[in-house]
Amino acid sequence: MRSPSQQNGYVIGGGAFGHINGISRNDIARWTPSGDLDMNPIQGSLPQF
């Protein structure tokens, strides 16, 4: 899994997974700077891994 950080401090994680802590996330998720799973949909372009 790769996890680059964004300029706003959020971290994106991508890999082969379907859930994180029981929450549906298909292969990509984002965490807030405090470490909580971001519940908002990921929009726009994503970094190339």
Q: What is the mean pLDDT of residues 11-25?
A: 87
pTM for the model: 0.67
Answer yes or no: are the C-beta atoms of 30 and 11 closer than 8 Å.
Answer: yes
Q: What is the pLDDT of residue 48?
A: 55
Q: What is the mean pLDDT of residues 21-47?
A: 82
Give the start-to-end residue ranges of the domains of the chain: 1-38
Answer yes or no: are the C-beta atoms of 3 and 12 closer than 8 Å.
Answer: yes
**pLDDT tens profile 36-49:** 999 987 665 555 55
**pLDDT tens profile 6-15:** 888 899 888 8
Q: Which helix (H) or strand (E) holds 14?
A: strand 11-14
